[in-house]
């Protein structure tokens, strides 16, 4: 497959097929970024479409010092900010705060049924405030460095580190609570899936 740089160069000459390849290659991550921030499937699709159209129109201004992906994520992020105006303020706030009710992604899993710890943690991830989902997604979805995440979000790098640290602390706390409640419950309902180490963990 052609590299992003080649495809961008061709698309800048007006090559629609090259741009189509870029869309095909990056739509999954762009869409998931929007979905995790907005928590709404239809809105995420709107934002993703709009982001690519803006990327196409602004392609002549793309100089190639940045990765195409980080440039694209910045467009997605800015469109998300338009939809959630308070997110900008939230991103700049670094003091600890608890998750806001109603600020979560609808999870396909009912929490009562999320007894496998991976499923539990993924459900908890979806319940984190939008700013934490945003920072975590950028950091872990495509292994962006803290510096790159800060560039996409247009906030200081220290703020990104704080958000990611805080988000993991919240997850740790919830996981600890889950372990405690699991320890007190009927063990038959709580058997984790049977793969080696996890099984030993449950039996020990």
Q: Which stretches of the chain bind other proteins, using CB under 8 A?
A: 11-12, 14, 16, 19-20, 23-24, 27-29, 31-32, 35, 41, 45, 48-49, 52-53, 56-57, 59-60, 117-118, 121-122, 125, 136-137, 140-141, 165, 168, 171-172, 175-176, 179
Least separation in angstroms between CB 89 and other proteins: 25
Nearer to other proteins among residue 42 and residue 101 (C-beta): 42
> What is the rounded distance in angstroms from the CA atom of residue 114 to the CA atom of residue 142?
26
In angstroms, what is the minimal distance from the CB of 7 to other proteins?
14
Q: Answer for the pair 106, 39: CB distance below 8 angstroms, yes or no.
A: yes
In angstroms, what is the minimal distance from the CB of 188 to other proteins? 22
CB of residue 23 to other proteins, shortest distance in Å:
5
Q: List the alpha helices (DSSP H) in the chain.
A: 4-12, 16-38, 41-57, 68-83, 86-92, 117-127, 130-141, 146-153, 157-184, 196-203
Q: Compute CA distances 71 → 4, 44, 108, 201, whole Å.
A: 12, 18, 31, 43
| Eight-class DSSP state of 178 | H
Is the CB of 27 or the CB of 78 nearer to other proteins?
Answer: 27
Residue 60 or residue 181: which is nearer to other proteins going by CB?
60
Among residues 132, 134, 106, 122, the alpha carbon closest in space to that of 178 is found at: 122
Least spacing, CB of residue 185 vs other proteins, in Å: 18
Q: Which lies closer to other proteins via its Cβ, residue 28 or residue 86? A: 28
Between 49 and 67, name the residue whose CB sits nearer to other proteins: 49
Least distance from C-beta 106 to other proteins, angstroms?
11
Q: 76, 30 in Cβ contact below 8 A?
A: yes
Instruction: Say what angle helices 16-38 and 130-141 make with each other, to 10 degrees.
Output: 140
Residue 57 class from Cβ within 10 Å (0-12 exposed, 13-18 middle, 19+ buried)?
A: exposed
Nearer Cβ to other proteins, position 88 or 122? Answer: 122
């Amino acid at each position: 497959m052609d590299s992003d740089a080649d495809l961008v160069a061709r698309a800048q000459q007006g090559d629609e097929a090259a741009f189509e390849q870029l869309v095909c290659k990056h739509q999954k991550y762009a869409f998931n970024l929007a979905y995790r921030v907005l928590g709404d499937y239809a809105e995420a699709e709107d934002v993703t479409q709009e982001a690519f159209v803006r990327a196409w129109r602004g392609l002549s201004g793309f100089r190639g010092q940045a990765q195409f992906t980080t440039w694209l994520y910045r467009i997605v992020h800015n469109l998300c900010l338009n939809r959630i105006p308070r997110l900008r303020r939230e991103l700049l706030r670094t003091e600890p705060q608890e998750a806001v009710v109603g600020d979560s992604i609808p999870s396909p899993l009912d929490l009562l049924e999320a007894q496998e710890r991976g499923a539990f943690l993924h459900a908890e991830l979806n319940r984190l405030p939008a700013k934490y989902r945003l920072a975590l997604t950028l950091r872990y979805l495509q292994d962006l460095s803290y510096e790159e995440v800060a560039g996409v979000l247009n906030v200081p790098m220290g703020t990104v580190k704080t958000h990611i640290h805080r988000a993991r602390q919240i997850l740790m706390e919830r996981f600890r609570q889950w372990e405690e409640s699991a320890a007190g419950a009927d063990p038959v309902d709580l058997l984790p899936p049977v793969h080696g180490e996890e099984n030993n963990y449950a039996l020990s």
